[in-house]
Amino acid sequence: MTAEAKPVNEKSTNSQELAKGEVMQFLTFSVSGAEYGVDIMAVREIKGWTEATRMPNSPEYMRGVINLRGVVIPIFDLRTRFGMGVTLAESKHVVVVMAVANRTIGVLADAVSDILTVQASEIKSAPVSDTTIDKEFINGLISVQDKMVVLLNVENLFEIDQIPANVEKAS
């Protein structure tokens, strides 16, 4: 079955649905020593860590919100989202600001690693296993030298109903 090429960050996308000849780019970053990647087209900017204001009744993995040039955006802690504890954020940490489901969000990471340019055929399906990261959060895997980069499905990872209604939509 052949499918039309779709951006990696769409909910229904997985590595089998990608056109084999398509060239894709991913921003990679580290969290707890593991490498993760997101579709570079979703990334709006990378900024240094600044303390976020906690929102009442928000999920544990939502650190709070920050004001980014007049836009209030939620900041999510990937370490907490993956069940690995809370990040003890310091000035060396970064926030990857991206557009997810017409909203702007920030993801707290240890550091930005690289920009990967790969053929869609290089993206492998995630094996079925008992991991701390649910399979629905993973679009695939890329082997880079001696390590694996987990490609995240940020739309599933940060469901739109988890983002407070008073947080502004991406422009």
The identity of residue 30, as a single letter, is S
* Residue 23 pLDDT exceeds 80: yes
Reference 108, options 157, 165, 143, 69; nearest CA is: 157
Backbone angles phi, psi at 104, to 5 degrees: -100, 130
The token pair that represents 72 in the structure block:
């209030």
Least confident of 1-15, 20-34, 72-86, 129-143: 1-15
Q: Is 147 helix (H, G, I), strand (E, B) or coil?
A: strand
Residue 57's region, left for phi above 0, alpha for psi from -120 to 50, else beta, is left
Q: Mean pLDDT, to the nearest integer, of 143-148?
A: 88
Q: Is 137 exposed, middle or buried (0-12, 13-18, 19+ CB in 10 A)?
A: buried
* Residue 96 pLDDT exceeds 60: yes
* Residue 17 pLDDT exceeds 70: no
Burial per residue of 79-93, b for 16 or more beta-carbon CB atoms within 10 angstroms, e otherwise: bbbbeeeebebeeeb
Beta bridge partners of 137: none
* pTM > 0.75: yes
Q: Mean pLDDT, to the nearest integer, of 69-80?
A: 92
CA distances from 29 to 16, 73, 79 (A): 24, 20, 12
User: If one looks up domain 15-162 in CATH, what number appears?
Assistant: 2.40.50.180
Give the chain's mean pLDDT: 81
